Amino acid sequence: MPAHLLLRLEAPLMSFGTTAVDHRRPVQAWPAVSMLTGLLANALGWERSDNVALDRLQARIRWAARIDRPGTLLNDFQTAQLGKDDRGWTTRGVVETRGGGDAAYNSPHLRYRDYRADASVLVALRLEPETEPPTLADLAAALDTPKRPLFLGRKGCLPATRISRGILEAADAVEALDQAPAIPDGEVPSAAAVYFNVGAAEVMPQHRVHQTSDERRFSLDVHAGRQQVFERVRKVTP
């Protein structure tokens, strides 16, 4: 049976970003495959310019996410009064400059950022092909001794616990999650909501289908295309 790496994603605040509109940055219940790729690549010490390696790693990931504790949706309203001569830091590593007339800066810059507070999610992932580097063992080692600080969605979302939780063998990623133990205050594993991408597990007629833009085209630095994510709906206990 194939090997799966378990990741515990837990923090006071996490951001599983989804499609952004203007200045609003919403979140979704599961971590996008692009976020998992970035998390693993950051642990390995890769650069944002390593486009080919990033695209390849993303294409190899088959993942499933179990929502052990959904947490609470939190919206952060941010303002900043920016002047014409201000310089902005970006995640692209390029300084952002500003232009326009003086009147353009009379109003503050507005941002809306959504988060999940006090959530806990268990991810099981495998790589196809299995033996191509980096391997699951490489990823597990990198998460335990990362080249750079790790974060869960945004740089302010620091993990509250160890991320790598070992490697186990299972027929598919969903079965790997069902084998993994529950957390003390979390859902029973077989009853929790589970999300997974194409190829991670068998799709059943009762599974809910979500149309997403979870993949990033790293060479273009944008999310693109439509992908399917499947949901095993949470069982409600009477």
End-to-end Cα separation, the chain, in angstroms? 35
Classify residue 82: in a domain, yes or no: no
Chain-wide mean pLDDT for the chain?
Answer: 88
Q: What are phi and psi of 86, to 5 degrees?
A: -70, 150
Give the mean pLDDT of 17-42. Answer: 87
Domain span holding position 210: 3-77+114-232
Residues 148-174 have pLDDT tens digits of: 999 999 888 999 999 999 999 999 999
Residue 108 has pLDDT above 90, yes or no: no
Residue pair 130/2 in contact by the 8 Å Cβ criterion: yes
Question: How large is the average pLDDT for residues 53-76?
Answer: 95
182: exposed, middle or buried (C-beta count within 10 Å: 0-12, 13-18, 19+)?
A: middle
Stretch 49-70: mean pLDDT: 96
In this structure, is residue 48 part of a structural domain?
yes
203 domain residue, yes or no? yes
Count CB-CB contacts under 10 A for residue 220: 9
Q: Is residue 108 part of a domain?
A: no
Q: DSSP 3-state helix, strand, coil percentages of the chain (rounded to 5)?
A: 20, 35, 50
What's 19's domain CATH number? 3.30.70.2660
Length of the chain: 238
**Residue 107 counted as domain residue:** no
> What total number of domains does the chain contain?
1
